[in-house]
Structure formats: structure tokens, C-alpha cells
Structure 1
């Protein structure tokens, strides 16, 4: 099993590094889209001005950079598996004049920090990509101080996330993709009600709560939606790379029709739903 987990981790690392340029290009749109989930995490963490905070799987830097902006005497350690994503996070920090951050490329299952280091931990949309989610939660709890707070977000069920299903549903309908191995990283791997709460409980956290948070992907046009999704969505790009030109064109046409059906006025603002889970050590 260890070898399999290692393999998944290396695939994740390669994938996120590869797509970092797409994430940089679409950073404003994606960060606006994911902001409500980050805001809920920040509110739940109830930060004090001198807190030391860990932001896990931060990608291009959020919500860690926003948290850093709220800490007068504290700091944020921003971590991700992909160094190329953290490079964008550092650029974003410089652009915003944020200096109380540090970036560390590391695996959540082997955090390079001593026990009881952090007052709070944020992790926005990381869990569904972790090879071993229970080990990840235990590691986070290990580096959290007694009484420390942790909050994470994961995507809710497919039915509430048309922004994913519009394109992935069309791909699956047209192509016979090999089913992912059980427990493999994926968008809706943590969507089941109480799934992460249960992992938190097993890791020893208490006062656990779960909140549903909705957001909107304000892509404006179907073109923008298609271009963004095919430049940042690893599973989408992987699937389309296996299609010939005729199949790609068919999928694109059907995605456009699906989106147009839902947004006949041409204003493509797509609803999303996530679960934010909180716990205390």
C-alpha cells in the first residue's frame, strides 16, 4: 500500500506542477470563485493577531495570504506539494505587500514541523487529493497546539456542482474512461455527509461542525468557462488528451449546449456547493 500511496503522491505533485501556469493565468477568476469557502474557514478559525497558522495545500496562496493580512504579530506557513504553485503564492504575496508568510514544499502526510507548533490550520480543497486522508488529519493534529483549531473545505455532491459536471459528465458520456481505483483522489471523494467529520473524529479532534457554503463561478461566457476548465482541470485535460480531434469537437459542442441550456441568457454564473468542516484539538 505504501508504494501505491507514494505513486499517487508523485502523480499529484507532477500534475499540480504541470498545471501551475494555468492556475496563474486564471488566478483572479478561481480565487474569486473559491473566496466564500476561504472566508468561512477564516471565520471559523477565529484568529488572534499573534497566531501562528499553517495553510495546507495552499496552491497559489489562499486562504493563507488573506489570513496573513489579518495577523498583526503572527505569521502563516503556506505549504503545498508543488513548488511551482508556491512560487505563484510568493509572487502574489509580494504583489500584495504581505511579508509575514513563509512557503514550504512538503507532503501533508509528513509535515516537517515539531508537535504542537500551530495555533490554527486551514486547508481549502486539499483533502480529496491526499493519498491517505486519515494520516493527513493525524499529521495536522500532531502539529496543532492543544486547543488549536482546524478548518477545511471539500466539494459537496456532484448534483450541486454543475461547474464540474457540465464538462466531466459530457466527457464520461462520450468516452469510456477507466474507473479510478477505489479511494483514488477525485473531486467528490469527500462529498458524503459527515465523511470528513468522521476522519476528524478519528484523528482526535472535538467540537466538530460541518457547514454548507455556496459559491458562484462567474465565468461570464461559455468560452471563458471552457478555456479555464481545460487549462486548470487535470482530470479534464487527461481525459481530452485521449480523445481524437473529432471527439474533442463533439464534447466541446455538447458542453456548450449543456451550459447554454442552463443559462439561455448567456450570463454564465455557475453555482457551486462545498462543505466546510471545523474541529478543535
Structure 2
């Protein structure tokens, strides 16, 4: 825990800090293996697009428990990889996992990447696997990150497409809420804050990057080996949808959820279709 000192964070991101320092961050940290495996089908696409080479210095934003940072560190060889996140519980897991796997060139920093003063023009590659959508001010955040990249630096971001293209979100939230929920506003911090390629292009070019490319990828997301595991996983992430329900309503919601999960149970466990943009760009030389 970081205590009460939040002078290092933009005030607009304090709600995110509270969430990731407490219940949400602890939940993710305790289930690191499941969270890291849930998106593993996207990892190769992201890392190939990043083009990490021996000697590169890599900056991984929203690194969570550090699987992408460890992979980047391995690819960087004699270089380094720095994983940045708001959550100290997740970063503790990331640090321990890097040590246990021998990723000595991976290190981790608790910081608000929207305002943190990275050493200017230091990093060769910026990566993020679904970790850069939660800034209160996307324009300020990417301007700050652009300043940290060397001229010619490369960017590879994995961000979710619109909720309508992500049944893992629409089906699970509908099951718990009993109705289809509206999509979050695009300007609000959410998993879908960068779902519009035209908005992504505006943010990145305003920050000083060249015009990005957005390539569509569709892969299954993994929620557990069985319905019981997946149910616990979903409740940990979306359980806030149950907060205002009475006992009967909660039971009905959980029944709907289990039925939805059972419908997606297959040989590989419980999986849901998903769709993401792989965003790539360069900082001009």
C-alpha cells in the first residue's frame, strides 16, 4: 500500500489508484496466473508488432503482474524492460515472478504514467496490453509517454474494440444486470476508451507520433477451466453489478451468469470471443 501520499499522481486518476491499490488490485494479484493466461492468445501479435531487439529499452504501461514485461525483457536481451502500473499488489507479484523466472533485466515502478517524469528520449519501444485505456486524460498521458521515447521509437498497443465486438463484456454484463448495458462514454476511463481508431489517431498524432495503424485481431479470452472457476473470476471483476440487488435478484443474476458461462464451456475451458485493435506507430526521427 502507498499510504495517504498521492502527490505523485494526477488528481484525476486518484479513483483508479484507489481501485487498483485495494480490492481490484488484490484480486488481480491473487489470481495472476489466470489473468495472465486470459489474454495470452494476443501476446505473440503484440510482441511481434513491437519488434523488440537485443539492447532495446522497453517501457510497458499498465503492466499488471508483469507477464508482458518479462517477455519484453527476454526479447530485449542485453537491454531492459520497465513495467509501470498503479497497483502495488500487482507489482509485488510482478517483481517476485521476474526474480523467480530469472528475468534480471525486468524491473517495475509504481507510477502514474500520465504525469511521471520519465527520463527524456530514453526508451526504444512502448508497449501496453490492454493497460493504457484508463488515463483520465489520454492526450496528456500519450504526450508524456512520447517524450520518454527516443526519436524513431516504436509503439505497440493492444486495446479493445467496441463492446459490440466483445461478447465477453456484453454477455457477462447482461447476465449480471439482466439487461444490456450502454457502452461507456468514449472519453471516460474504461476498457473501451480507445475503441475508436479515429480517436486513437487523434490522440497519438496530437502527442507527436506519426499516424498510427490499427489492425483488427480476434482471439478467444480464457475465463477458467470450469464454470465454477469462471464464475468466481467474473464476480471478482464485475461483481459491482450485484451491489444493489436483493437476495432474490442476486440469485437470479448468478443463475443467468452460470448459464452463460456453461454455454461457453468447451475443451479449452470457458472462453468468450473478443476483438482488439493492435495499434502501431512511430515517433518521428
* Shorter-normalised TM range: 0.7 to 0.9
4+ long deviations beyond 4 Å: 5-8, 177-182, 261-267
User: What residue number does 2:206 align with?
Assistant: 202
| Contact residue 37 and residue 276 of structure 1 kept, 8 A | no
1:216 is aligned, of 217, 220, 223, to: 220
| Contact residue 52 and residue 118 of structure 1 kept, 8 A | yes
**Runs of 5+ consecutive residues of structure 2 not aligned to the other structure:** 1-8
2:81 is aligned, of 76, 80, 98, to: 76
User: What residue number does 1:32 align with?
Assistant: 37
State which drifts further: 124-133 or 206-215.
206-215
How much does 1:257 deviate?
A: 2.4
How much does 1:75 deviate?
A: 0.5
User: What residue number does 1:124 align with?
Assistant: 129
SS, match of residue 276 in structure 1: strand
Distance in 2 (alpha carbons) for counterparts of 1:62 and 1:267: 21
Distance in 2 (alpha carbons) for counterparts of 1:97 and 1:125: 25
Superposed CA deviations along residues 200-236 of structure 1, whole A, max 9, x for unmatched, are: 12212115211122222332322222111212x1xx2
Residue 63 (structure 1) aligned with residue 68 (structure 2): yes
Count, aligned residues: 273
- Of structures 1 and 2, the one scoring higher in RCO (CA 8 A, sep 6+) is 1
Q: Is the alpha carbon distance of 1:243 and 1:148 closer, same or farther for their aligned partners in structure 2, counting shifts above 3 Å?
A: same
| Contact residue 213 and residue 274 of structure 1 kept, 8 A | yes
| Contact residue 221 and residue 266 of structure 1 kept, 8 A | no
RMSD: 2.6
Q: Is the alpha carbon distance of 1:138 and 1:95 closer, same or farther for their aligned partners in structure 2, counting shifts above 3 Å?
A: same
**Runs of 5+ consecutive residues of structure 1 not aligned to the other structure:** none
How much does 1:182 deviate?
A: 7.0
| Contact residue 260 and residue 266 of structure 1 kept, 8 A | no
Distance in 2 (alpha carbons) for counterparts of 1:228 and 1:245: 21
| Contact residue 264 and residue 272 of structure 2 kept, 8 A | no
Distance in 2 (alpha carbons) for counterparts of 1:174 and 1:66: 39
Distance in 1 (alpha carbons) for counterparts of 2:152 and 2:143: 15
Distance in 2 (alpha carbons) for counterparts of 1:216 and 1:40: 14
Distance in 2 (alpha carbons) for counterparts of 1:180 and 1:280: 29
Distance in 1 (alpha carbons) for counterparts of 2:267 and 2:60: 39
Aligned pairs for 1:101-120 (under 5 A) are 101-120=106-125
How much does 1:114 deviate?
A: 2.0
| Contact residue 186 and residue 192 of structure 2 kept, 8 A | no
Distance in 1 (alpha carbons) for counterparts of 2:274 and 2:150: 33
How much does 1:265 deviate?
A: 9.0
TM-score w.r.t. structure 1 length?
0.87
Q: Is the alpha carbon distance of 1:130 and 1:263 closer, same or farther for their aligned partners in structure 2, counting shifts above 3 Å?
A: same
| Contact residue 220 and residue 269 of structure 1 kept, 8 A | no
User: What residue number does 1:276 align with?
Assistant: 278
Higher helix share: 1
User: What residue number does 1:48 align with?
Assistant: 53
How much does 1:69 deviate?
A: 1.4
| Contact residue 38 and residue 62 of structure 1 kept, 8 A | no
TM-score w.r.t. structure 2 length?
0.86
2:261 is aligned, of 244, 259, 262, to: 259
SS, match of residue 109 in structure 1: coil
